[in-house]
Structure 1
Amino acid sequence: MRVIRAMSAALLTVGVFALTAPPAGAAATGGVSFRGAVSPATVAPGGRVTLSVTGCAVSATASAAVFDTVTVSSGRSAAATVDWDAKPGSAHTVTFTCAGAHSTARLTIAGAGGTAAATTAPTAASTSLTPVGVRGGLGGSMAGGSAAQTATGAGLVVGAITGGVYAVRRRAAVRAH
């Protein structure tokens, strides 16, 4: 009988922690590397480039000196128009930002002797992540949580702790006799 109670308490505790753990995909937002790409890598002044982001679960932003900041939705790409007065032959860094992490890609403005129609293949973006420190857990930073979910999680944790304390005290009381 004691074994059944102890196993029940252990299973309840494990179940509570399994239910309150974040889903496996939830960590994709916070600090996990992502990659931004610019296509084409060379464009004429006034031309359009396609900006895409992979590995970012939330909307990202892309910015460079030769176009306005653009928001890139998760799983999609966005277009940006290069300024007409961009200096031919210049190279620029496009900075992608996703949940505090950064990735960069190169964008070259076609030179005077260069072609206006640039390469059509996407470029492999170089990724340089800015150190953001240790992310010890998502805590309250997960989007979409509600007060009901928080109350349910807290109730399950309190129930597990109460059950564990009850089982330990009950077992100590039985051994004392």
Structure 2
Amino acid sequence: MRAIGLASAVLLGAGALTSCVPAADAAIQTDFGFSVMPSTVAAGGEVTLRVERNKACRGEAAVNSEVFDMVTIPRGESWATAVVDWDAEPGAVYDVEFECDRSSGTARLTIAGGRPTHHPTHHPTRHPHKGVHAGEGGTFAGFDLKEIGLGAALIAGSLGVAYHFSRRRTDEDAG
């Protein structure tokens, strides 16, 4: 009987965890990898668009969004840059659509509240890809502490309810 209570607690906890993932931050899965870095940028700022080359994405990749002009990542390259429109709405979230060969996917780009202090007048020279750019630099990766607290409360509550019901059944069986 204790195994059933434990299994219930585990399932409730897993359900609570999956329900805490914000839908707006979830990327649509595709046959190739892609990213927009940084994922939050001020209007007029520059973003790096990356694709991971594999058998599903060998040719030219096209990247399109309402907030910048269409960008092409040539065959053999893994990244390109785009400048976000100056009139992008602060706080808005825009879709960034990646298409490569017959595969496609969508990432999200959030516009920050501030604006850069200078207008970009030229694009920097492209340098060959030198290693992997990984991680968020020790940040909470955009998580809001209220969201984390709410998620922890949901998990603790579901575990408490599961424990209560498992103990109540045990007491009824003993009596």
Structure 1-normalised TM-score? 0.45
- What is the TM-score of this pair, normalised by structure 2? 0.45
Higher CA-based Rg: 1
